[in-house]
Amino acid sequence: MTARRAIHPEAWPYTALLWSLMLDARSRLLHIPKTGGTAVERIALVSPRSVYEAWDKPKRLLRGSCDVSGLVSLWHLTPEQQAVCDHEPSANPYLHRAAHVYCVVREPISRFVSFFAYACKADFVWPSECGPWPECQSLYNVTRAAVALRCFANAAVRAIHEYRQAAHALQANPASEDGVHAKRRARHETKLRLSEFLMHVQPQSWYVRAPVGHRSCEHAFTFEDLRRASVNYTNGAHWRSTRAAVRALADDPPLRAMLEKLYAADVQLWRRVEARLPPTRFHSRGGLNASLDRWRQRRPQLWSRIPACAPRPPRAKKGLNCTCTACCSAELGAHGGRCVRCTFERDECSGKL
C-alpha cells in the first residue's frame, strides 16, 4: 500500500531541506531500518545500498571482530559497527569528508511493531527461538499475534543484550603481566555477531550517536517528515497483522513497559527530533532549524514557497509540467514529490543543486 499525500504548506521548509539532501550528491543517508529508508533510497542520488551493491561480494568488506550470521544488509550497519568490523574504507559511505549525513527516526514502539509485521513475510529475519516461520495470515488473530509478539520482544532483548556484552568485551583491557597481548587475544577471540534481526531491533540511538560520544547523523528527520514531503513509502503490506499486533500490545501493559525500557534512549531521541531540537547533547546547537538557516541561504527563492505542478496542454504527452507559482493545485497535490523533484532539477525554478 503506497501512501500518496500532498505536501503540507506549513512543513515546506523541512520538506525543502529533506529534498535538498536527497538530491545532493554530497549527502549520505544513514539508513536506520524500518524508518522509510528504502523510499528515500529510491530518490537519493547517493545511498549506502547503491555503494554496497556495487561490490561483487559485499561480505568481504567485513573483517576484524565481526561474525556475520546469514544474510546481512551492510547498509543497515551503524557507523560504529563499520569501524569495529574493520570495514573497507573505500566502501564506507560515511567517510566522505564533505558529506552531509542525514537520517530518519521513528517512534520506537511503532518501529518495532512495523518490523514484527515485516518479519512475517521475510523468513530470514524471523528468530528461530520463536518457532517455525509463521504465515502472515496466522498473525491476523490477536491472541496468536500476542504470543508471537512477546516471543519476538524477548528475542530482541536477548539479541541486544548479547551484542552489548560482546561490544563491552572488545573495549575491556584484561589485567595481566602481558596486558597488550592479552587484549589482542581477547579482541581476536571475541566476535560481534551481526544478523539481519539485530540490525532491525537495535536502538536507533546507536545510529545517531556512538557510545563513545561521536555524532553520526547531522540532520535528523522524523518518519512523519517523509509523509509531509510527499515521499511515497510503503506501509506494512500485511496491515492486518500490524493492527493485530497493536491491539495485542495495548492489552499487554507489561510487554509495552518492557519495550519502552529497552528503547528508553530512542524515546528521548524521538522527542528531541520531533521538537526540532539537536538529537543529542553532542550535536551542534539549534537542531534542524539551524540546518534550515544554513541551507536557506543557498537557494532563498526555492525556500520561500512551495513549487507547483500544472497540467500539460491536452495534446501534449502525458505527465506533469512543473512551474514556479506560489501554491500547488489541489488536484495535483498527490504528485507533490514529482513536482518538487522536477522543480529542484530545473534552472528556471531556482536552479540545480
CA distances from 146 to 104, 139, 351 (A): 28, 9, 52
User: In this structure, are 99 and 130 located in the same domain?
Assistant: yes
More confident residue, 46 or 335: 46
At 174, list the grid cell: 584484561
Query: In which domain, by residue range, is 104 found?
Result: 9-295
CA–chain centroid gap for 4, Å, is: 20
Arithmetic mean of pLDDT over the chain: 75
Considering the domain architecture, whether residues 321 and 243 belong to the same structural domain is answered as no
Confidence band for 273, pLDDT divided at 50, 70 and 90: very high
Domain match, 165 and 264 both: yes
- Looking at residue 111, what is its pLDDT? 95
Q: CA torsion, points 221, 227, 231, 237, in degrees to nearest 10?
A: 110
Alpha-carbon gap, residue 305 to 286, rounded angstroms = 23
Q: What percent of the chain has pLDDT over 70?
A: 63
pLDDT of 281 over the 60 cut: yes
pLDDT at 200: 94
Look up residue 205 and give its three cell numbers.
540511538
Distance CA 209, CA 283 (A): 9
Q: Is the same domain home to 223 and 342?
A: no
pLDDT tier, 320 (very low <50, low <70, confident <90, very high otherwise): very low
Please tell me whether residues 288 and 328 are part of one structural domain: no
Instruction: Specify if 246 maps to a domain.
Output: yes
Q: Using alpha carbons only, give the angle 336, 338, 343 rounded to the nearest 5 degrees.
A: 95
- For residue 2, being part of any structural domain is answered with no
Q: What is the largest CA-CA distance in the chain?
A: 85
Decide if 301 is inside a domain. Answer: no
Our CA angle for 91, 202, 193, nearest 5°, is: 65
- Evaluate whether residue 280 is within a structural domain: yes
For the ranges 121-135, 167-181, 313-327, which has the lowest average pLDDT?
A: 313-327
Both 313 and 279 in one domain: the answer is no
Which has more confidence, 119 or 154?
Answer: 154
Same domain, 318 and 290: no
Same domain assignment for residues 259 and 141: yes
Question: 347 CB contacts (<8 Å, ≥6 apart)?
Answer: none
Q: Are residues 204 and 153 in the same domain?
A: yes
pLDDT at 331 over 90: no
On whether both 90 and 131 belong to a single domain, the answer is: yes
Is 91 inside any structural domain?
yes
Same domain, 344 and 201: no
CA-closest candidate to residue 124, choices 177, 65, 198, 50: 198
Say whether pLDDT at 98 is over 90: no
Question: What pLDDT does 1 receive?
Answer: 38
3-state SS, one letter per residue, for the chain: CECCCCCCHHHHHHHHHHHHHHCCCCEEECCCCCCCHHHHHHHCCCCHHHHHHCCCCHHHHCCCCEEECCCCCHHHCCHHHHHHCCCCHHHCCCCCCCCEEEEEECCHHHHHHHHHHHHCCCHHHCCHHHCCCCCHHHHCCHHHHHHHHHHHHHHHHHHHHHHHHHHHHHHCCCCCCCHHHHHHHHHHHCCEEECHHHHHHCCCHHHHECCCCCECCCEEEEHHHHHHCCCCCECCCCHHHHHHHHHHHHCCHHHHHHHHHHCHHHHHHHHHHHCCCCCCCCCCCCHHHHHHHHHHCCCHHHHCCCCEEEECCCCCCCCEEEECCCCCCHHHHHHHHHHHHHHHCCHHHCCCC
Instruction: Summarize pLDDT for 61-93 with one digit per residue, the tens.
Output: 566 677 776 777 888 888 888 777 766 666 666
pLDDT above 70 (res 142): yes
Q: How far apart are the first and last CA of the chain?
A: 31
**pLDDT for position 175:** 41
Instruction: Give me the number of domains the chain comprises.
Output: 2
* Residue 353 pLDDT: 36
Query: Degrees (nearest 5) of the Cα angle 342, 320, 221?
Result: 45
Q: Is residue 331 part of a domain?
A: yes
192-227 in b/e burial notation, b at 16+ Cβ within 10 A?
bebbbbbbbbbbbbbbbbbeeeebbbbbbbbbebbb
Distance from C-alpha of 154 to C-alpha of 94, rounded to nearest angstrom = 32
Q: What is the pLDDT of residue 231?
A: 81
Do 315 and 291 share a domain, yes or no? no
Q: What is the pLDDT of residue 32?
A: 94
Chain segment 180-236, per-residue pLDDT in tens: 444 455 445 567 888 899 999 999 999 987 555 456 788 899 999 988 887 866 655
pLDDT tens profile 154-186: 999 999 999 988 888 877 654 444 544 444 554
Residue type, 166: A
Distances, alpha carbon 163 to alpha carbons 64, 82, 106, in Å: 16, 14, 22
